[in-house]
Each structure stands twice: as structure tokens, then as C-alpha cells.
Amino acid sequence: MTSIFLRIYGGLLFTLVLVAVLSGLAVTIINGVRLAEYRQEMAEGTFSLVAEELQRLPPGQRPEALARLELVLGIELVLLPHWESGLDHEQLDRAERQGVLVEIAPDNRGQIFMPLNDGMMLRAEINSLTEQLAYGTLQLLLERLYPLPPEARGGVLAELQVHRFGYALELVSPEQSQLSEPQLIRLAKGETLTQLGEGAGSVLFFSPLKDEPRLLKVGPVRLFELYPFKLLMSIVLFMSTSVSLAIYVLVRGLERRLRKLESAATHISRGNLDARVEVRGADSVGRLAMAFNGMASHIQRLLSIQKEMIRGVSHELRTPVARLRFGLEMVADATSESQRMRHLEGMDNDIQELDTLVDEILTYANLEQGSPVIHFRREDIDGILDQVTREQSQTNPDIQIEHRRSQLPEMMRKAEVERRYMHRAVQNLVGNACRYARGRVRVSYHLNAENCRIDVEDDGPGIPEEQWERVFTPFTRLDDSRTRASGGYGLGLSIVRRIVYWHNGRALVGHSDLGGARFSIVWPRKQRR
């Protein structure tokens, strides 16, 4: 047990280290995904304006437009066919699907690709994603707005913001801008103004319009920040502490429950077969406790059956052994050959009785052990009843054995059984009924969609209700003298109950309308695999 918990606590330490490593890896991956999304958001709107302008121009005018756009954006622009862009198939698919592809190195240098609708690819060489594009974007927006009348400019900006830009684009009056007087003076001179947003986590851009008093406001444009190292360590520490506490609580509870299981096993090993474990919950330990209790109950039951069988067998063997000993003495004292043969015949019957008793005991012991080998197959139950009826009619010619056959077709009369064991169960029931019947035994078979039932009835004296459960106990006879007047060893009905148990059914006893007892066995038509 100690080694088990050493392994558990070792696993706990390994889990903490693994959580720390995975937390760092998760934060790194999250930062990478956030950075890629940020770059995509910053570049898509600006380069969609560039691509639109180039697509409106005929190929001959594009070099001049590219040169002008390079001056506006402050970056190098190249127009080339798709196959000369240096992108692989996956990157080309992403560019077509997303409309823009951003490939930035860790030092914030890289390239931006945007496919045009005529098979050409626009490539931009950039050094700084935010600073270069911010002012260029303002200029492109102003160029888009100037040809429009003032009343139409707000709608165009709103459409651009919804479909292409990940930040706000709007026209505001100087009063709405909430800028200071010096800042408004700078804007009146034609300058472009940059202002930090709230919390210094974003940037606002303001640019004046030449033909109206309103200002073009772009932003707030959020600034990208990696999750800081302190935050990373805080997350790792919090997750490690949480996991540690959770595992500690689970392990402590697990340890207490396993200690109780160990204590119960120790009590059983010392002979206290009544020791059991409290079953709590449906987790693995709860199922283990349930299995342990089942095992302990089964062991206790087997030992009880063993003691009972030893007592019963010792009693059952005394009578035939005593008769054999008496028969040997009589053979020795016989004065004629006929007397000797009569005594030898009686001894042979006693040996046959011993052989039958041993067979009954072995059958019952085999059914009482863990799980006998049973192969279920679909069998015609009426066929089994016919066979047993013929056999018992020959053995008991004075008893009228009536077999009420089912009216269903043969395929519908079938059920899943182990034929050998079911034959033995029905044989024991019919033989027991013939032993006590006055002259009539009735065997019938009933079934529905779920279950099958066999009834064996007789016109004998019947069984009192207070004895119904006792008749299935091994080596039990209801006559107190335990005489052989009716024959048997008290194992037949016990064997029946065990056979039906392994068929997932049950054996019952009741009153018959013939006046005697009715024994019934019920089991499912289709067995669980």
C-alpha cells in the first residue's frame, strides 16, 4: 500500500512539472495566435484599398500608381504573377481565402501578400507593421473621401469599417474630438495628429479635411502586447497550486478509502468473513469496494456451502456404506447360491446409489463454483420437454405425464439456453414431481417477447408455504425422518435453482390446480453476452 501512494505522490510531482511546462507552451502558442490575428487585422484594410485602386487601372498605368502608393505608404510594393510570389500552395490558398496574407518575422520585418482578380499578386516589403501603415492608411482614406460630397463620406467610412477595417473610421467635429486647443491648432495647419488612447493600450489618429471642418478620426487602434512574463508565472503558479490542491484532496480521500479496503481484507484473511467495506460513490474505488464485497460474500457463501455439503455428504454416505457392509456379511453367511446372488444384487444397487450421489454432488459443486462453462444456443424448448417426458415415462410407468405443447411455430418456441443443463433442470423437476405424485404430472411451456417459463405440476400432497424457500436448500428433505421412502438426496431442486441462476433466471414454487405443488423456472429468451 505504501508503494502505491509513493507512486501517486511521484505522479503528483510529475503532474506539477508537466502543468508548468504546458502552461508556458500554451501562453507561447496563444501569443503567437494573437500576434498573427493582430497583423492580419492591421494589414487587411489598408491593402484592400491599394488592391482596389490597382484593379481599377489598366496594366499600363499600374507601374506609375505603384510608385505613387509607395510614396504614400513609405514601403516597397511589387506586382507579380502568383507563381513568382514564392508562396507555396497552402499559403496561396490562405491568401485567396483571407484576402490578405501577412508573413512577419520575429523582428517585425516581413512581407504582405494580397491577390488581385486578374491572377496577379501584390507584395509589400515592410519594416514596421503599425507605424508605416498608420499614416499611409490615413492618406489612402483621404484620397477615397475627397472625390465624394461631404454628406456621403460618413456612409463610405462605415462600410469600409464593417467589411475591411478592424478599428473605427469616422468623421467628427473638433468639439467631438475632445482634443486640446494646441492639438486643434496643429490640425488646422494640416498636420496629422497621433494620440494615445485610454490606458495607453491603443492609438488614435486625427487628420484634417481640406474642404470641410470635420476631422477624420481613425481608431482607437489597439497596440499589440505579449502576455508579460509575470503574468505567465502567475498563471503557472495558480494552475499548479489549483491542480496540487485538487490532487491532494483526491489522493487523501483515495488513501482513506483504500486503507479501509486494506483493513477489511486483513480481517477476512484472519477468518472474519463478515467484514465488508462501505460503498460510497460510483468511481473506480467505489466499484472496487463493491467488487470486494461481492467477492467476500461469494467466499463466505462457498465456505458455508462447503461445510453444508461435508455434513450432508457424510450423512448420505453412511446409509449405503452401512448396507454394503451388511451385504458383505450376509454374502459370507449365505447358505445357498440364490441367497448369495440376492445379496450381491442389493450391494450392486447400493453401489449404483453411491455413484448417483457422487454425480449429484459433482454437478452441484460445479454449478456452485465461480462460473461454469455455459454455451448458450437457440434451442426448441418443447423438444427438450418431449425428451424428458419420454425418459421419465419409461422410468415411472405408473405416472401419467402430460406435456402441454406450445401452439407457436417451432422458430418462435426457441430460446437461448445451455441444452445439457436445461435438460438436467427439467429432468430433476419432472423426476421430483413423479416421486411425490399420486398418478398425474403436467409439464407446460409458456413464453412472451422477453421471458420463458416452464411449469411442472403434480397431484401429490403439495408443499406448505412456509417450506417453499427451504425446498431449494441442499440436502433438505421436508420429511423429518429423512427416510428413503420417496428417494432422492435433497440436491435435485438445489441443482435446478443454480442452473436457472446461471441462465439469469429464477426458480419458484407454488400451488397447482391439480392439488399438489407447482415448480416453475423463468429465464430471459435472449441471454446477456
Average pLDDT over residues 502-506: 88
Picking from 353, 370, 387, the residue at the C-terminal end of a domain is 370
Helices 492-502/337-368 angle, 10° precision? 30
What does the pLDDT read at residue 413? Answer: 78
Cis preceding linkage at 220, omega within 30: yes
How many Cα atoms occupy the beta-carbon half-sphere of 389 within 13 Å? 20
Question: Is the same domain home to 43 and 132?
Answer: yes
Helices 492-502/419-436 angle, 10° precision? 150
Picking from 191, 222, 253, the residue at the C-terminal end of a domain is 222
What does the pLDDT read at residue 285? Answer: 76
Average pLDDT over residues 124-146: 71
The domain spanning residue 310 has which CATH number? 1.10.287
Residue 239 counted as domain residue? no
- Return d(Cα 181, Cα 160) in angstroms, integer: 30
**79-84 own/partner pairs: CB under 8 Å, 24+ apart:** 79/54, 79/116, 79/120, 79/121, 79/122, 79/123, 80/120, 80/121, 80/123, 81/119, 81/120, 81/121, 82/115, 82/119, 82/120, 82/121, 84/121
Question: Is the same domain home to 472 and 444?
Answer: yes
Nearest to 474 by CA among 322, 310, 295: 310
Residue 381 counted as domain residue? yes
Question: Is the same domain home to 120 and 12?
Answer: yes
What does the pLDDT read at residue 484? Answer: 41
Residue 288 counted as domain residue? no
Helices 2-56/62-73 angle, 10° precision? 130
- Return d(Cα 287, Cα 293) in angstroms, integer: 10
CB 458 within 8 A of CB 445: no
Question: Is the same domain home to 330 and 344?
Answer: yes
Question: Would the pLDDT of 56 be above 80?
Answer: no
What does the pLDDT read at residue 81? Answer: 82
Q: How confident is the model at residue 457 (pLDDT cuts 50, 70, 90)?
A: very high
CB 253 within 8 A of CB 280: no
State the CB neighbour count (10 A cutoff) for residue 254: 17
Q: How confident is the model at residue 54 (pLDDT cuts 50, 70, 90)?
A: confident
**314-319 own/partner pairs: CB under 8 Å, 24+ apart:** 315/475, 315/482, 316/357, 316/475, 316/489, 317/354, 317/357, 319/484
What does the pLDDT read at residue 523? Answer: 92
What does the pLDDT read at residue 454? Answer: 92
Average pLDDT over residues 137-163: 78
Give the N- to C-terminal CA distance of the chain in Å, as an integer: 35
DSSP state, residue 115: E
Residue 270 counted as domain residue? no
Query: Which residues on neighbouring strands pair with residue 378, listed in sequence order?
Result: 416
- 49-86 in b/e form (b: 16+ CB < 10 A) is bbbebbeeeeeeebeebbeebbebbbbebeeeeeeebe
CB 290 within 8 A of CB 300: no
Question: Would the pLDDT of 332 be above 80?
Answer: no
- Return d(Cα 455, Cα 406) in angstroms, integer: 12
What does the pLDDT read at residue 480? Answer: 42
Question: Would the pLDDT of 499 be above 80?
Answer: yes
Q: 370 Cβ partners below 8 Å, 6+ apart? A: 298
Residue 55 counted as domain residue? yes
How many Cα atoms occupy the beta-carbon half-sphere of 410 within 13 Å? 4
Residue 23 counted as domain residue? yes
pLDDT above 90 as % of the chain: 4
Picking from 370, 399, 429, the residue at the C-terminal end of a domain is 370
Question: Is the same domain home to 113 and 174?
Answer: yes
pLDDT in tens, 264-277: 888 888 878 788 88
What does the pLDDT read at residue 228? Answer: 63
- Residue scoring higher pLDDT (486 or 184): 184
Question: Would the pLDDT of 488 be above 50?
Answer: yes
- Residue scoring higher pLDDT (218 or 127): 218
- Return d(Cα 77, Cα 136) in angstroms, integer: 13
- HEC sequence for 334-350: CCCHHHHHHHHHHHHHH
Residue 428 counted as domain residue? yes
Question: Is the same domain home to 414 and 304?
Answer: no
Structural domain of residue 141, as residue ranges?
A: 2-222
What does the pLDDT read at residue 159? Answer: 78
pLDDT in tens, 229-247: 666 677 777 777 777 777 7
CB 48 within 8 A of CB 23: no
Query: Which residues on neighbouring strands pair with residue 402, listed in sequence order?
Result: 442
What does the pLDDT read at residue 261? Answer: 82
Question: Is the same domain home to 202 and 159?
Answer: yes
Give the H/E segment covering residue 362.
helix 337-368
- Please state, rounded to an integer, the average pLDDT across all residues of the chain: 76
Q: 180 Cβ partners below 8 Å, 6+ apart? A: none
Average pLDDT over residues 343-365: 74
What does the pLDDT read at residue 485? Answer: 42
Helix/strand/coil for 379: strand
What does the pLDDT read at residue 304? Answer: 73
Residue 357 counted as domain residue? yes
What does the pLDDT read at residue 43? Answer: 67
State the CB neighbour count (10 A cutoff) for residue 498: 21
- Return d(Cα 245, Cα 12) in angstroms, integer: 10
Question: Is the same domain home to 361 and 491?
Answer: no
Residue 484 Cα distances to 62, 317, 473, 478, 479, angstroms:
119, 13, 18, 12, 10
Question: Is the same domain home to 343 and 382?
Answer: no
- Total structural domains in the chain? 3
Question: Is the same domain home to 361 and 381?
Answer: no
What does the pLDDT read at residue 490? Answer: 67
Question: Would the pLDDT of 306 be above 80?
Answer: no
The domain spanning residue 483 has which CATH number? 3.30.565.10
Question: Is the same domain home to 500 and 463?
Answer: yes
Question: Would the pLDDT of 83 be above 60?
Answer: yes
- Return d(Cα 504, Cα 506) in angstroms, integer: 7
Question: Is the same domain home to 519 and 461?
Answer: yes
- Return d(Cα 520, Cα 195) in angstroms, integer: 94
CB 40 within 8 A of CB 102: yes
Residue 240 Cα distances to 73, 247, 493, angstroms:
48, 10, 63
